[in-house]
Amino acid sequence: MSFSQNLKLLRKTQKINQKKLAKIIDVSPKTVSHWETGYTEPSINQLISLANFFDITIDELVDRK
């Protein structure tokens, strides 16, 4: 599974919308949308924030085996 697919699945599992996730990790909702469509990817600091929020490792977040 790609990062973008995994992020969308994680977000939906937490039952939050893009706007709320964006606020939590201090980015714009458009940024979250771009990540979920694969248009852009987060910086390492943003990956850390996402992993911390979802309480998973960065490897799990990017689906690295």
Write the burial class of residue 2 (CB in 10 Å: 0-12 exposed, 13-18 middle, 19+ buried).
Answer: exposed
Q: What is the pTM of this model?
A: 0.90
| pLDDT, tens digit (0-9, with 9 covering 90-100), for 1-20 | 899 999 999 999 999 999 99
Q: Is residue 65 assigned to a domain?
A: no
Q: Which two tokens stand for residue 59?
A: 């490897």
Q: Is residue 22 assigned to a domain?
A: yes
- Confidence band of 65 (pLDDT split at 50, 70, 90): low
Query: Does the pLDDT at position 25 exceed 80?
Result: yes
Query: Does the pLDDT at position 63 exceed 90?
Result: no
Q: Residue 51: give the domain boundaries.
A: 3-60
3-class DSSP state of 42: coil
Q: Is residue 26 assigned to a domain?
A: yes
Can you give the CATH number for the domain in which 54 is found?
1.10.260.40
Q: Is residue 9 assigned to a domain?
A: yes
Q: Is residue 52 assigned to a domain?
A: yes
Query: Does the pLDDT at position 27 exceed 80?
Result: yes
Domain count, the chain: 1
